[in-house]
Structure 1
């Protein structure tokens, strides 16, 4: 029997009851997003035990092998039997990430390094930023709570100058342009326009533009140009555990500068076409 709320008089003098509608059930909480972690690796067998031990609970781990000659793949499969291994089709970190992103099935994609420099234990902070409303969560070593045990004075100065340049040209507020610890909603993957299918071009380099370390800057610039909601997340960069980094401060700095030059006029032309189209409509 329904509960009678109150009795109201009517014009005929009879009584009319009103029934309180049944209470609505509390809304169900949003389901937990599926988190995919992409780990580019080239001869990182000795570093993977440390990296995987620091991984929090995630739904999918994709190791992108760059043609390792050590036991990188075997070690990864031993440590995580559920891991998915992808072989990149060209060379360079950028191509590895493009191939890994294309293989992801999660709602959120996180990119970390296999050398132990990026701390997998920080992944929940990136996921929280995305769940809080960001489209793109960008790691920063230069926000309060962040830092680096690896960056040299030369790289720090170069990064600062490049960050200022990008902030002026693109209207951003980046504090750390050249850092590769990022996460984003997979629905925005098309914004980055990465090539994961074309074969390696002829020549000694065997890479397309974006296949190298310039990928980190490329992602940041295209996220800004697409007007994604970007939130910086404090992050601490550790020393590489074993091996030697393939990063070269001078040559990779030049590639970053060329990336800024290439992306800025392209973005302006695209925005001009969009404005012209809106005016015509």
Structure 2
């Protein structure tokens, strides 16, 4: 269920967990999950910007190092991340986000890209939507009030539109933008969804939204400001092929009842 309410903008078993020295131990209100791969050069700035974006909020920052092979996890600890989870091998963004979600302790969970293509000052918009009754708040580049500082290359933009059309056809979805890297959840919704996800790669966003629909969770799309930064660690064509295949697998798993207990959570 998609609600396009016009929100205003406001300024484990998955791996080993480490808490950085001196990090805050009190229960957090907002848990921010940052999936990271070979991000040692940017992670300190990212952690600092996320913390600074919500100076009056209790924030838990969780960095999940997706088997980077560099010192991303150490840099995150030095930067003051509250939790650092290191996956022993590179499993994919979906696996990294899942690990963070299942280790978060806040009342509201948000995940965003480590390159901060969506400035963390936009996180409060998601929290406002959640506190107003949504179970899931989705940043959407297709929202009529969204804008861009720097656009993605034309091939990626075209590929994104084709992928969304394919997803809507295969899964009969109503979402116009499944892949925006800024999404928020209530703790209950996050646990309900991420204990069921199977996709480890970039198509995990599609699976998350498919499960939200199956569980009849209330979702709201919010506008975003995109400042695109090209990811040199992502190979476009191989990833696109894997994503299309993963969407077909989601359809198959759903049809075969492979997702446990999808009894709707809301009437």
**What's the TM-score bracket when you normalise by the shorter of the two chains?**
0.7 to 0.9
Counterpart pick for 1:48 among 40, 43, 51: 43
State the Cα distance separating 1:178 from its structure 2 match.
1.9
CA RMSD of aligned residues (A): 3.0
Per mean C-alpha deviation after superposition, the further-off stretch among 62-71 and 223-232 is 62-71
Matched, 1:78 2:78: yes
What's 1:216 paired with?
Answer: 205
What's 1:67 paired with?
Answer: 67
Counterpart pick for 1:246 among 223, 226, 233: 233
3-state secondary structure, aligned to 1:54: helix
3-state secondary structure, aligned to 2:139: strand
Note the 1:100-115 alignment, pairs <5 A: 100-115=100-115
State the Cα distance separating 1:244 from its structure 2 match.
4.2
What's 1:34 paired with?
Answer: 29
Q: Distance in 1 between matches of 2:58 and 2:146?
A: 23
What's 2:11 paired with?
Answer: none
Contact 2:73 2:85 in 1 (8 A): no
Counterpart pick for 1:266 among 249, 253, 265: 253
Can you list the C-alpha shifts for 1:89-148, whole angstroms capped at 9, x where unaligned?
442211111111111111211101112223211110011111111111111112133244
Contact 1:192 1:222 in 2 (8 A): no
The gaps in structure 1 that reach 5 residues or longer are 1-32, 196-208
Note the 1:109-128 alignment, pairs <5 A: 109-128=109-128
Decide whether aligned partners of structure 1 residues 117 and 173 sit closer, same or farther in structure 2, where only a CA change above 3 A counts.
same
If asked which structure has higher relative contact order (CA below 8 Å, sep 6+), I would say 2
What's 2:193 paired with?
Answer: 191
Aligned length in residues? 228
The gaps in structure 2 that reach 5 residues or longer are 1-27
Can you list the C-alpha shifts for 1:137-186, whole angstroms capped at 9, x where unaligned?
11111213324424222222222233234334544331212222111112
Decide whether aligned partners of structure 1 residues 63 and 151 sit closer, same or farther in structure 2, where only a CA change above 3 A counts.
same
Contact 1:36 1:109 in 2 (8 A): yes
State the Cα distance separating 1:268 from its structure 2 match.
4.0
